[in-house]
């Protein structure tokens, strides 16, 4: 390929990356319409570039415009087709409910997507005070929310170290996500099997999680529970951690029995 061909290929890859960023930004809003300016801010694109991409995606039915930009009908169809391979909510739904029932906290199922986790499912617990940090569709970098910490902790060492070398979480998430504190939480998770995230996203909102492994033995999903700090003292941490581990192990067993691949 000559230099002109390389340039065209690189330009095409950049467009695909930008389209992916736009679609992820809309999916993270859980159906809430977004303005062009909000999409631009979420993706780091200029407003004219974001508008051109949104208009092109709308022409293909991948986004729609009502009171703002939302994912369109073609995105739903693509997602429904992909769900046969990637969606484990049917296998994990009763585990999510079991965590909520046993702990009283809000319970979640999240999936790894590259260097992020995305929340797939939520079940409210019985305790009246709740954390609203997580909701279906929200994304966090690995190492930020409890689900991403649990998955990151259980990755093979080389893969985990490669991520830590390239990730800089402090500018967006604060000093509690620096390499030293992050490594301490990851080491604790590998020791106990579950992770504790002490109110580092929203003060007073704590989370815990345990990883779910795919048929190849890789951490690909996580079960988590979140709630107010007073509900996550040392004694309850052990109790919640055991519930999360038991339910995560049961989902892992089902996945291995069915050889489900992420």
Q: What are phi and psi of 226, to 5 degrees?
A: -130, 150
Cα separations (Å) of 132 from 54, 102, 124, 172? 29, 19, 10, 19
Sheet order of strands, 139-141 included: 139-141, 116-123, 106-113, 219-228, 205-213, 195-197
* Measured distance CA(152)–CA(262) in Å, rounded: 16
Burial category of 230 from C-beta neighbours within 10 Å (exposed 0-12, middle 13-18, buried 19 and up): exposed
In terms of phi and psi (left: phi > 0; alpha: psi -120 to 50; beta: otherwise), the region of 137 is left
Burial category of 92 from C-beta neighbours within 10 Å (exposed 0-12, middle 13-18, buried 19 and up): buried
Contacts of 195 (CB under 8 A, 6+ apart): 146, 149, 150, 153, 185, 186, 188, 189, 208, 209, 210
β-strand pairing of 205-213 with 69-71: unpaired
In terms of phi and psi (left: phi > 0; alpha: psi -120 to 50; beta: otherwise), the region of 18 is alpha
pLDDT of residue 17: 85
Contacts of 57 (CB under 8 A, 6+ apart): 19, 22, 23, 63, 72
What's the distance, CA 85 to chain centroid?
A: 18
- Reduce the DSSP state of residue 127 to 3 states and report it: coil
pLDDT of residue 25: 83
pTM: 0.70
Residue ranges of domains in the chain, CATH in brackets: 3-80 (1.10.10.10), 87-258 (3.30.450.40)
pLDDT of residue 27: 78
pLDDT in tens, the chain (262 residues): 555 555 656 677 888 888 888 888 887 776 788 899 998 988 889 999 999 999 998 888 888 887 889 888 887 677 666 555 556 888 899 999 999 999 999 999 999 988 999 898 999 988 766 666 677 888 899 999 999 999 999 999 999 999 999 999 999 999 999 999 999 999 999 999 999 999 888 888 899 999 999 888 999 999 999 998 889 998 899 999 999 999 999 999 998 887 555 5
Buried b (16+ CB within 10 A) or exposed e, 112-136: beeebbbbbbbbebeeeeebebbeb
* Measured distance CA(36)–CA(29) in Å, rounded: 13
* Cβ neighbours of 218 (radius 10 Å): 16
């Amino acid at each position: 390929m000559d230099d002109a061909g390389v340039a065209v290929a690189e330009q095409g890859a950049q467009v695909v990356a930008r389209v992916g960023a736009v679609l992820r930004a809309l999916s993270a809003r859980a159906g809430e319409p977004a303005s062009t300016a909000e999409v631009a801010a979420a993706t780091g694109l200029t407003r004219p570039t974001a508008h051109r991409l949104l208009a092109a995606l709308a022409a293909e039915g991948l986004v729609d415009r009502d009171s703002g930009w939302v994912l369109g009908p073609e995105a739903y169809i693509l997602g429904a087709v992909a769900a046969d391979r990637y969606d484990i909510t049917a296998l994990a739904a009763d585990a999510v409910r079991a965590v909520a029932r046993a702990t009283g906290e809000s319970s979640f199922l999240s999936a790894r997507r590259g260097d992020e986790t995305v929340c797939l499912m939520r079940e409210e617990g019985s305790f009246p005070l709740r954390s609203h940090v997580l909701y279906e569709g929200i994304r966090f970098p690995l190492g930020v929310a409890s689900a991403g910490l649990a998955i990151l902790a259980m990755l093979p060492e080389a893969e985990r170290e490669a991520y830590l070398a390239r990730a800089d979480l402090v500018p967006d998430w604060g000093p509690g996500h620096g390499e030293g504190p992050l490594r301490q939480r990851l080491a604790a998770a590998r020791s106990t099997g579950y992770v504790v995230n002490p109110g580092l996203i929203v003060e007073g909102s704590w989370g815990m999680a345990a990883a779910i492994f795919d048929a190849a033995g890789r951490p690909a999903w996580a079960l988590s529970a979140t709630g107010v700090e007073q509900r996550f003292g040392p004694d309850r941490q052990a109790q919640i951690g055991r519930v999360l581990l038991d339910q995560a192990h049961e989902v892992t067993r089902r996945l291995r029995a069915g050889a489900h691949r992420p």
